[in-house]
Amino acid sequence: MKILVCITHVPDTTTKIKFTPDGSKLDTTGVQFVIGPYDDYALSRAVELKEQFGATLTVLNVGTAETEPSIRKALALGCDDAIRIDAEPTDAFFVAEQIAHICKQNNYDLVLMGRESIDFNGGQVHGIVGELLGIPSFSPVMKLDIEGNIAKMAREIEGGKEYLEAPLPLVLGCQEPIAEWKIPNMRGIMSAKSKPLQVIAPANPQELTKSLSFELPPPKGACKMIPAEEAEKLIELLKTEAKVL
């Protein structure tokens, strides 16, 4: 079995977000970057499947050289080798196109990634990759087991869970509780330094979309406290200021 796990390199969830003065991009000064939390679940399950079936496991990232610490962490957790597409991940289609290009060259049985990245929260890449490869994609997958050539999954849907089966190959967007996050040990960290990391130019560097500017949401306004006995004043404010009545 050949497995590809795709990871993002995103600001830590505790990071205070700020943008450059012109609002054109994220100000990365002092920002700590990590593997996307949903990708971490996908990575952990991929490592478990590798150990269970003796599969080969490749980690892929679309990003510049700054993402390599995250890639090395994935190698330390148990991935056999890594691929970095040397490009800025400008939009979901561009990223999906790069992943699909690598998949067509290597014929992976299973492509795992997070349900979405936590920077843009688009949740589109897995579906586009599946379409480009002409194979099924499912998300968000909460449980995954492999029996022979069949994947047995549990997927979160509106108001409940859906249980389904599908033959490999598949593209899956993952979320908790598909696996427990893993922490690399010292042996894994040392071995990651010698594992192959292939840097590849993007297959199609065409930029189809461009972000013009970013801005933070407006700060929350002050809270007005209205005494319980002044219900009429509260109603008036809901009409004139909040405009919800």
Q: Is the dihedral of CA 110, 113, 114, 115 positive or negative?
A: negative
Alpha helix locations (H) across 112-170?
125-133
Strand 137-147 relative to strand 150-157, pairing = antiparallel
**Can you list the domains of the chain with their CATH numbers?**
2-216 (3.40.50.620)
Query: Whole-prediction pTM value?
Result: 0.82
- The dihedrals phi and psi of 75, each to the nearest 5 degrees, come to -65, -40
One-letter amino acid identity for 84? R
**Beta bridge pairs of residue 61:** 84
Residue 89 has pLDDT above 90, yes or no: no
Burial of 75 (0-12, 13-18, 19+ CB in 10 A): buried
Residue 118 has pLDDT above 90, yes or no: no
pLDDT tens digits, residue range 31-60?
888 898 999 999 999 999 999 999 999 999
Alpha helix locations (H) across 32-114?
37-53, 68-77, 92-106
**Average confidence (pLDDT) over 215-239:** 83
pLDDT tens digits, residue range 12-34?
888 887 888 888 888 888 888 88
